[in-house]
A and B are shown apart, each in its own frame.
Chain A
Amino acid sequence: MLTPLFSSKLLIVLLFGTLFGLILGVLPGLGPTTGGALILPFTMTLDPLSAIVLLTSIYCAGTYGGAITAVLINTPGTPAAAATCLDGYPLAQKGEAGRALGMATVSSTVGGIFSVIILVFFAPLLAKLAYEFGQPEYFALAIFGLTMLSSIGEGSPIKNLIAGAFGILISTIGKDFMTSIDRFTYGINELSVGIGFIPVVVGLFAISEMLTQSTLLDQVFKRVALKAVKLPTKDDYKKTWKTILRSSGIGSFIGVLPAEGGTVASLIGYSEAKRFSKNPEEFGKGSIEGIAGAEAANNAATGGAMVPTLALGIPGSATTAVILTGLIIHGVRPGPDLFREQPDFLYGIFGAMLIANVLFFIFGFFGAKIFARITLVPNKILWPMIFAVSVCGTYSLSQSIIDVWIMLFFGVLGFFMRRFGFSVVPVIIGLILGELVEGTLRQSLVIFDGNWLMFLTRPIALTFFILSLIALAFPLLRSKKQKK
């Protein structure tokens, strides 16, 4: 599994990706998704394996990096670290920041490695199953992905569905792939090739975040002092090993579902840790189990989310949507054929994720103090620089200024979407899946002579549609249960 990585170039990429991911993780507002989007244009200069190794190492390390700020300044560096704040910061306030970060580091590493093992075993199995899929099955699967995202993603399910449909609508801009008829181009030549992924991704994540940061300038962070990260004691391990394993399982499972992986996983991991704990009253006051539960789960979601991304081409989280974009722009089509034709490529990714988990353990353990200092870089200096990189990166892809306008447009749109409770992640996933949804629908109709009912005669497609209905009904049932 590690053989493809035995090249100095890939190891440097991996090292850089892990360090960069950690830096992104500790900076509130950035994180692996925005950071991945920012670095995406630069990956064009790399070969496909190096590019994806870079993105996946950013993903793994960035997810862990969020815990450092969650513990030290009570602000999650990434949304997935929100649950870590609940116990990490109170423990740090008691003068045990080193212990809290030690537990976060160990449980993140265990969760991450556990999920890579799941990825290695389950992704090929899922890919094998996908050999049975025809056009109708892929259509049903894409619909299932979108409904899952809306039902267990953040925010209102209906708003998520609107955002997903909007993402698919964006993918229809340009020449129709079956008939070459222009759609929504309004005579603008640049639009006839469609809207690229990168301007939308950078706009929705980086530029909209810049606008969000412009509203948060009065925020003051109180940083807890950190002497050194301490390895958990024997007593801590005794208390938490079951929690870490349980959360690793939960995180991997949630990650596999096409949704906002780490964030949901850490919340469930945390609440399950509380439910099974002998001392649930300690949760929220600095419980070491709480940190272990949240951190193991969010890092376990990384490998889990890569399962559908690689096996089916359906992203399992926002960051895997960026990784999927990276695969597509490098001409790699995820799915069962990838497993048959390019096993070395895949094992390179699996190995990189494994090593990234070990690397962030080392960097986190010895360098958390330095990474924590990065949070001191003021936004008034950081964000103009991020803007310059975003603009040049977006321009670099097709050397088109129109792409920069599109990026700015989606940045402003993304800000208002977030402000009014619409998640931007479904837009990206809709945009990525748009061609698949429309293409498989239209090709299915061609194959089955325009018979819409044929979807119901295909068992796998029917199963996905039923699962989609369940996914749509789930939030309704949940809110009814909460009311009771």
Chain B
Amino acid sequence: MNNVRKQKRANKSLPFFFKDEFKVSFIIVFISIILLISTFSFDIVPPILNRGIQPATFPKALLILIISLTLIIYYLSIKNPWKIGKKLPKTFFLTLLSFLIFVIISKTLDFFLAISVLSIFVSYNWGERRIFYLLLVSIIFPILVFIFFETILGLRFPPGIITNLYYY
């Protein structure tokens, strides 16, 4: 509660473009405008075949609605600033980083290696130091998951340096 109040107070003293309300609204409007512009490049159905509205009309209407509503919430936030939680801790950014590592490893090396690396990375950074539990989440559990999906559900995972050992 105190943190929220402190954050609110800190937010009030900032110039408008540093405030969370502005940043969030700006990002939504900016992305919506880019998407809105891209709708103009959608193919157009020739008038003779066109029944009802063009395929781009509905997304255009939605994007205009999103932009308008975002401007309204920004206007309202000037009077009533949003309640935003405390500053994000280091563990959050490390977890986010683990997702990136997962994407890179699964794309270049191996899907299951990526799961193992993410599991040990997250578990360690969230405070787990006991070797058995680190092995449990990073090796034993992914192997069990692999066996379950592969044998019971008959799923074939993407090839990779570890998965290939099983398949070939």
Interface residues of A (CB under 8 A from B): 42, 45, 156, 158-159, 161-162, 165-166, 168-169, 172, 176, 178-179, 181-184, 186, 210-211, 214-215, 217-218, 378-381, 383-385, 387-389, 391-392, 395-396, 399, 401, 404-405, 408, 411-412, 419-421, 438, 441-443, 445-446, 450
CA distance A210 to B56 in the complex (A): 36
Q: Which of B36-85 contact A (CB under 8 A)?
A: 38-39, 42-43, 45, 49, 51-53, 55-56, 58-59, 62-63, 65-66, 69-70, 72-73, 76, 82-85
Q: Are A172 and B89 in contact (CB under 8 A)?
A: no
Classify chain B's interface size: 35 or more
Contact of A392 among B43, B70, B149 (CB under 8 A): B149
Q: Are A401 and B28 in contact (CB under 8 A)?
A: no
Q: Are A385 and B141 in contact (CB under 8 A)?
A: yes
Q: Are A419 and B84 in contact (CB under 8 A)?
A: yes
Chain B neighbourhood of A419, CB < 8 A: 84-85
Q: Main SS of the interface on chain A? A: helix
What are 30 A-B contacts defined by CB distance under 8 Å? A159-B73, A165-B62, A165-B65, A176-B55, A178-B55, A181-B43, A183-B59, A210-B95, A214-B91, A214-B92, A217-B89, A217-B127, A379-B126, A380-B122, A381-B136, A384-B119, A387-B122, A391-B102, A392-B146, A392-B149, A395-B111, A396-B149, A401-B106, A401-B107, A401-B111, A401-B158, A404-B106, A412-B99, A442-B53, A450-B53
Interface residues of B (CB under 8 A from A): 20, 24, 28, 35, 38-39, 42-43, 45, 49, 51-53, 55-56, 58-59, 62-63, 65-66, 69-70, 72-73, 76, 82-85, 88-89, 91-92, 94-96, 99, 102-103, 106-107, 111, 115, 118-120, 122-123, 126-128, 133, 136-138, 141-142, 145-146, 149, 152-153, 155-158
Q: Are B95 and A168 in contact (CB under 8 A)?
A: no
**Closest chain A residue to B94 by CB distance?**
A214
B40 to chain A, nearest CB (A): 12
Q: Are B119 and A45 in contact (CB under 8 A)?
A: no
Chain A neighbourhood of B42, CB < 8 A: 181-183
Contact of A388 among B73, B83, B142 (CB under 8 A): B142
CA distance A411 to B96 in the complex (A): 10
Q: Are B127 and A380 in contact (CB under 8 A)?
A: yes
Q: Are A381 and B123 in contact (CB under 8 A)?
A: yes
Contact of B137 among A385, A421, A450 (CB under 8 A): A385
Known: A215-B89, A384-B137, A405-B103. A168 touches B62 (CB 8 A): yes
Known: A215-B91, A215-B92, A379-B126. A166 touches B66 (CB 8 A): yes
A-B contact count (CB 8 A): 159
**Closest chain B residue to A445 by CB distance?**
B52
CA distance A14 to B114 in the complex (A): 34
B93 to chain A, nearest CB (A): 9
Contact of B145 among A161, A186, A214, A388 (CB under 8 A): A388
Chain A neighbourhood of B39, CB < 8 A: 183
Q: Are A172 and B43 in contact (CB under 8 A)?
A: no
Known: A381-B128, A395-B157, A419-B84. A169 touches B59 (CB 8 A): yes
A212 to chain B, nearest CB (A): 9
Chain B neighbourhood of A438, CB < 8 A: 58
B133 to chain A, nearest CB (A): 6
CA distance A448 to B127 in the complex (A): 63
A9 to chain B, nearest CB (A): 15
Of B39, B51, B55, which is in contact with the most chain A CB atoms at under 10 Å from its CB?
A: B55
**Closest chain A residue to B154 by CB distance?**
A45
B106 to chain A, nearest CB (A): 7
Q: Are B24 and A420 in contact (CB under 8 A)?
A: yes
B6 to chain A, nearest CB (A): 16
Given contacts A162-B28, A210-B95, 8 further A-B contacts (CB under 8 A): A165-B66, A169-B62, A181-B42, A183-B39, A380-B127, A395-B157, A441-B53, A442-B52
CA distance A208 to B53 in the complex (A): 36
Q: Are B123 and A162 in contact (CB under 8 A)?
A: no
Chain A neighbourhood of B62, CB < 8 A: 165, 168-169, 172
CA distance A220 to B48 in the complex (A): 67
Chain B neighbourhood of A166, CB < 8 A: 66
